[in-house]
Amino acid sequence: MPAAKKAYVCEVCGAEHPKWQGQCAVCGEWNSLKEVRLGSVKGARGSARIGYAGSKAEVRKLSEVDISEAPRFASGIAEFDRVLGGGVVPGSVSLIGGDPGAGKSTLLLQVAVSLCREGRSVLYVTGEESLEQLAARAKRLELNADQLRVASEVVAERVASLIETLAAKLVIIDSVQVMRLESVEGTPGSVSQVREAAALFTALAKRSSTAFMLVGHVTKEGNLAGPKVLEHIIDCSMMLESPAGGRFRLLRGVKNRFGAVNELGVFAMTEHGMRGVANPSAIFLQRSDTVSPGSLITVLWEGTRPILVEIQALVDDIQGSYPRRIALGLDPQRLSMQLAVLHRHGGVSLVAQDVFVNLVGGVRINETGADLALILAVLSSFRDKPLPSGLIAFGEVGLTGEVRAVANGQERLQEAAKQGFRAALLPQANMPRGSKSIGGMALHSVASLKDAIDRLAEV
Predicted local confidence at residue 46, as pLDDT: 44
Distance separating alpha carbons of residues 336 and 324, to the nearest angstrom: 10
Predicted local confidence at residue 131, as pLDDT: 95
Vertex 104: Cα angle to 99 and 106 (nearest 5): 135
Least-confidence region, from 13-17, 103-107, 416-420: 13-17
Residue 445 confidence (pLDDT) above 90: yes
Residue 47 confidence (pLDDT) above 50: no
Distance separating alpha carbons of residues 103 and 122, to the nearest angstrom: 19
Predicted local confidence at residue 289, as pLDDT: 67
Across the range 151-163, mean pLDDT stands at 93
CA distances from residue 205 to 34, 210, 338, 355 in whole angstroms, order as listed: 28, 5, 47, 50
In the structure, what pLDDT confidence band is assigned to residue 49 with cuts at 50, 70 and 90?
very low
pTM of the model: 0.82
Q: Which residue has the higher pLDDT, 219 or 165?
A: 165
Least-confidence region, from 37-46, 355-364, 421-430: 37-46
Predicted local confidence at residue 119, as pLDDT: 92
User: By the 8 A CB rule, do 182 and 157 touch?
Assistant: yes
Across the range 288-310, mean pLDDT stands at 89
Across the range 178-186, mean pLDDT stands at 86
Distance separating alpha carbons of residues 274 and 193, to the nearest angstrom: 31
Handedness of CA 342, 343, 347, 353 (dihedral sign): positive
Burial class (CB in 10 A: 0-12, 13-18, 19+), 235: buried
Q: Which of 210, 197, 214, 237 is nearest to 91 (CA)?
A: 210
Least-confidence region, from 14-23, 68-77, 94-103, 225-234: 225-234
Strand, helix or coil for residue 319: coil
